[in-house]
Amino acid sequence: MYHIVCYGDSNTWGDCPLGGRWPYEVRWPGVLQALLGKEFLVHEEGINGRTTVFDDPMGGTYRNGLKGLGYVLSTHGPIDVLVFMLGTNDTKENLNASPYAIAKGMETLVTLTEHFEYPQQQGVRHILIVSPIAIGDRIMDVPRFRTYGPTAPEKSRRLAPLYQEVARNHHCAFFDASTVAGPSEEDQLHMMEPGHKALAEALAPLIRSLALKS
């Protein structure tokens, strides 16, 4: 059996723009599981507000992706494909992180994965970096997300080429989620059901190819 780990934020957790959480069969990791079939086991590791490496005093505890990654690597090994989809929360105004700093945060996660001391040598075979969907231009019209600030949409749109460079430098696979999905009109941040489906359908053949690669 091939083990796939999806390490992400609220769009991996399945935050529904209409309230609550999308059911498992709607969330993109759940759709991915259905597409890949019984030879694969997709592990969801998403949490609302997670950043790459930043502590966010307004975002809640346990949200720093770097601090949580070691637990995930230790829990799920051996991992055939580790999927990173983070960076959206790093664009928040209070964190004051440039797109370059956010990309460096992603690179830090990749580097930890490459050099981690895995239990019983059960490491990660392949890493897939997914640049997250862009934040909607009307994010400041959504009261609960005004803390992102007016620069967040532009920052989010600049991540893809920077993440692609990180992937190239570390021999990782790369995919830009914004090429197939976008934020909802309702909250300008989270995907509706068609977005989850489109993302899973785009990632499935890439993940299958990576897992089957020797």
Q: What is the pLDDT of residue 59?
A: 84
pTM: 0.97
Q: What is the pLDDT of residue 139?
A: 98
CA distances from 157 to 7, 67, 160, 175 (A): 20, 26, 7, 14
Q: What is the pLDDT of residue 90?
A: 98
Q: What is the pLDDT of residue 87?
A: 98
Give me the average pLDDT of each 10-residue run along the chain (214 residues): 98 97 98 98 98 93 96 94 98 98 98 91 94 98 96 98 98 98 98 98 98 89
Q: What is the pLDDT of residue 61?
A: 87
Q: What is the pLDDT of residue 151?
A: 98
- How far is the C-alpha of 70 from the C-alpha of 59, rounded, in Å? 21
